[in-house]
Amino acid sequence: MSENCTHDCSSCGENCPSRQQPQSFLEKTNDLSHVKKVIGVVSGKGGVGKSMTCALLAAASQNKGNVTAVMDADITGPSIPKMFGVHERARGDEFGIYPCVSKEGVQLMSMNLLLENEDDPVVWRGALISGTVLQFWTDVIWQGVDYMFVDMPPGTGDVPLTLFQSIPLDGIIVVTTPQDLVGMIVSKAINMAQMMNVPILGIVENMSYLTCPDCGRKISVFGESVVDSIALEHNIPAVAKVPIDRNLTLAADSGKIEEVENNYLSDFFDKIVAELKDKPLATAHNTKKDKEFLQMFCGGLKIVAAIYIGCKFNVKKASYSQSAVDFQMPQC
């Protein structure tokens, strides 16, 4: 042990025999799961096209011959199954939950695949949402997946924080639109990823422009593009600009996102794959100190909420039957 030892290995540069490795808080997958690379798709706020980006990336990946999966962690706004035209309920047995599979073979798990009625709203507090979304990682049997895309909940709140901590993300892709305000908000998401030590693989500016159907000129509907300056500022290697394209909306709404002729993110996906080759395998993203701080912070919030509302959180695990997954709405 060094003479100056403070017992805080996370801030010490000494190479002494009693050095402790940062403790991993990553959750294990189901024993039957195999997932090679996990990529989070994040945005600073909702409605910027994060799910669209996630779906296009998954479609591009599958189209290039990779076994691909999408974990829809946007529990309160789950739009992934609809985009892929999947409306059946997930099935499960004593080994775990089986993902639904799209027409082209993309494995999917989403809150909407567990609800009896896909129009049912999910009106839960953060703790319940985090618990459920983690089960998508720990209980679902993901089969031989090369690339998994996680449609993260928007913003920098409790649920994305839990996911950053618990799932071994190999990197994230940030989605933004050209508005200044969103540029500011997206910087928060980028800073959060950097705080959690998750590499930012690329940034997508969605609704970047509109192509005039008559003259082919690009019109910047939401103002001039901000993505290049954000990428430069944060040293983000891959950049893509996706236009407003009615064909994308139509394909998403009719469950045919895999059939879009012009997948604007096909080349971007190749750049991401190249980026991932240079990255070490995802390991622990947080030290014990970070975890304790986050737990204290979240615990404090829960206590305050419980005092005000007189409500006790109780996360019930999903129970599985032989047929469709019998998902029980947690009681508040």
Strand partners, 107: 69, 101
Q: How far apart are CA 67 and CA 148, in angstroms?
A: 9
Contacts of residue 156, Cβ cutoff 8 Å, sequence gap at least 6: 44, 188, 189, 192
Could you tell me which stretch among 164-172, 240-248, 287-295, 305-313 binds ligand ADP (CB under 6 A)?
Answer: 240-248
Supply the minimum distance, in Å, between the C-beta of residue 200 and ligand ADP.
17
Q: Does 155 bind ligand ADP (CB under 6 A)?
A: no
Q: Cβ(41)–Cβ(151) under 8 Å?
A: yes
In the region spanning residues 26 to 45, those forming contacts with ligand ADP, defined by CB under 6 A, are 43
| Beta carbons within 8 Å of 76's beta carbon, 6+ residues apart | 121, 122, 124, 129, 153
> By CB neighbour count within 10 A (0-12 exposed, 13-18 middle, 19+ buried), where does 180 fall?
exposed
The distance of closest approach from Cβ of residue 320 to ligand ADP in the complex, given in angstroms and rounded to an integer, is 28
Using CB under 6 A as the binding criterion, the count of chain residues that bind ligand ADP stands at 18
CB of 100 to ligand ADP, least distance (A): 19
Our finding on whether 51 is near ligand ADP (CB under 6 A) is yes
* Cβ-defined contacts of 283-287 (< 8 Å, 24+): 283/24, 283/26, 283/168, 284/22, 284/23, 284/24, 284/25, 284/26, 285/26, 285/164, 285/165, 285/168, 285/169, 285/196, 285/197, 285/198, 286/22, 286/25, 286/165, 286/196, 286/197, 287/10, 287/22, 287/23
CB nearer to ligand ADP: give 24 or 76. 76
**CB under 6 A: which stretch of 86-94, 119-127, 132-140, 237-245 binds ligand ADP?**
237-245
- Using CB under 6 A, pick the residue from 252, 260, 272, 325 that binds ligand ADP: 252
Among residues 61, 62, 66, 79, the one that binds ligand ADP under rule CB under 6 A: 79
Chain positions 200 to 219 lying near ligand ADP, rule: CB under 6 A, are 206-207
CA quadruple 61, 63, 65, 70: dihedral sign: positive
Among 196, 236, 248, 318, binds ligand ADP (CB under 6 A): 248
| Residues 174 and 240 sit within 8 Å (Cβ to Cβ) | no
Q: Which one among 9, 38, 39, 48 touches ligand ADP, defined by CB under 6 A?
A: 48
The CB-of-231 to ligand ADP minimum distance in angstroms stands at 19
CA atoms in the 13 A half-sphere facing the CB of 69:
28
Q: Answer yes or no whether residue 299 interacts with ligand ADP by CB under 6 A.
A: no
**C-alpha to C-alpha distance for 195 and 217, rounded to whole angstroms:** 40
- Binding residues among 156-195 for ligand ADP as defined by CB under 6 A: none
Per CB under 6 A, does 49 bind ligand ADP? Answer: yes
Q: How far is the CB of 81 from ligand ADP (least distance, A)?
A: 12
Whole-angstrom distance, CA of residue 42 vs CA of residue 264: 18
Single residue of 211, 249, 319, 328 touching ligand ADP by CB under 6 A: 249
The stretch among 95-103, 218-226, 248-256, 321-329 that binds ligand ADP (CB under 6 A) is: 248-256
Q: Which is nearer to ligand ADP, 80 or 294 (CB)?
A: 80
- Least Å distance between CB 78 and ligand ADP? 10
Q: Which residues bind ligand ADP (CB under 6 A)?
A: 43, 46-52, 77, 79, 206-207, 242, 244-245, 248-249, 252
